Each structure stands twice: as C-alpha cells, then as structure tokens.
Structure 1
Amino acid sequence: MEEGYPDLLDIFLADSEERLKVLRATDSAARLVETAHSFKGSSSNMGALKLTELCHQLEQRANDLPWAAIQQLVREIDGEFAGIRPLYEAERQRCPAKI
C-alpha cells in the first residue's frame, strides 16, 4: 500500500473536489444520495470520520429534508472538507515523489 499511498491521496483530494461541485450544484435528491454515498465511502477509507458522518446524514436524509436543510448540510460537508484538506495535502507533501 505504501507505493500507492501518494496516488490514493491525490485521487481522494481530486475526487472530493468533484463531489463537492456536484453537491453544491445539483437539485436532484437522487444525485445527492448517490454523490453523498460515494463521498462517504472515500472519506471513510481515508479516515475522515466527521466527513463520513456528514455524508451519511445527507445520504440518508436527502429525500426527506427541506431544501434549506439540505443546503445547510452541504455547507457543513464543504466546511469539514475545507478543514481537513490541508492535512491531506500536507500528508501528500511528505510522501516521496514518483520516480
């Protein structure tokens, strides 16, 4: 796993940005559920427990929450990722470059 760890970090960071774009822009509950599920899985794999929980909440409740509550939850997810992103970026900088 050590060899692939830098790639895993790169993929997590890039995919998270894409998932956040979808969460911010979509007005489809089905797309919210799908994206939150995917984001939850990758966050869990990377040990981002609070982000995992927030994505789980969105996945479970996107069909039932009023739109304002969904938007608030997306903002919380966005804020949590903004808080942990520098940690993962720093971790990536500590990994040796590919040769």
Structure 2
Amino acid sequence: MTEIHLDLDVLSGLQDVMEDEYPTLLDTFLDDSQGRIEALRQARDDAKTLGCIAHSFKGSSGNLGAVRLAQLCQRLETASAEPAVTGLGELVDEIDHEFALVKPLYESERQRFPI
C-alpha cells in the first residue's frame, strides 16, 4: 500500500472554500506545525503532554490533507494513553521526519499565491 503524504484533493477543496484566505491558512498551518514539532521534541518523555499535542496536531494535519502525518499523530496519541508507555520517542522522530517531508510541499503550494 502506498503511503499518502499529502492529499491534493483536500487542498483543492480548501482553496475553493477559503478563497482569498487560503494562503493565510497555509501560512498558519506551517507556523503552527513548526511550533508543535518543537513542543513534541521538548515533551518527548512526558506521555500526557505528548498525547495532548498529538491530538491537536492530528486534527490540523488531517484537515490540511497531511494524511500520514495525521496517522502518525493518532498513533502517538493512542500510545501515550497506554498503561505501559513505550516507543514514544520513536513516534516523535517519525512525526518530525514526516513533517520534514510535507513542509516543502506546503511551501510550494503557498508559493503559487502572491503575497
């Protein structure tokens, strides 16, 4: 099964709905996501905090079509609630890596619209 990093149909639908505010939406997502990545790194040993950040990041990623990023955040959210918490640091690393993959795709999308 092929992993979907970015669902372009979701972005197209958002562009239709958001119209002139679409570039602002992309800017906001990129800024917020960078902050969430930093927060995940800092909270890497705090399961409760990781779960909260992952929950929020899952929603925004899913809404903006970052399919695999949303899936990884779901896995982190679920794992952080387990009684025997293990592997959270590895999931944080996977999320960090996935964001590094999709970030330039969003930046490229954003460049299609003049400032």
Partner AA of 2:25 in structure 1: L
2:61 is aligned to: 43
Distance 1:55 1:95 in 2: 29
Could you list the runs of 4 or more consecutive aligned residues of structure 1 that deviate by over 6 angstroms after TM superposition? none
Instruction: Provide the residue aligned with 2:42 in structure 1.
Output: 25
TM-score where L is the length of structure 2: 0.79
Q: Output one character per residue of 1:35-72: Cα deviation in whole Å (capped at 9) or x when no partner.
A: 00010000001001000000000001113332xx1111
Q: Which runs of 5+ in 1 are unaligned?
A: none
2:28 is paired with a residue whose SS is helix
Aligned partner of 1:89 in structure 2 is: 107
Q: Does the 8 Å contact 2:41/2:92 carry over to 1? A: yes
2:89 aligns with one of 60, 71, 76: 71
Aligned counterparts of 1:5 and 1:31: Cα–Cα separation in 2: 30
Aligned length: 95
Stretches of structure 2 lacking an aligned partner (at least 5 in a row)? 1-17
CA RMSD of aligned residues (A): 0.9
